[in-house]
Amino acid sequence: LVSLFMSDLMVGLVVMPPAMLNQLYGRWVLRGDFCSLWASFDVMCCSASILNLCVISLDRYLLITSPLRYKLRMTSCRALALVLATWTLAALASFLPI
pLDDT (tens digit per residue) in 11-45: 999 999 898 988 899 888 888 788 888 889 999 99
Q: Is residue 98 over pLDDT 80? A: no
Which amino acid belongs to residue 56?
I
pTM: 0.84
- Name the DSSP letter for residue 1: -
One-character DSSP codes across 31-49: -HHHHHHHHHHHHHHHHHH
Residue ranges per structural domain of the chain? 1-96
* Alpha-carbon separation of residue 29 from 40, 48, 78 (angstroms): 17, 27, 43
pLDDT tens, position by position, 49-88: 999 999 999 999 999 999 889 988 889 999 999 999 999 9
pLDDT for the residue 79: 92
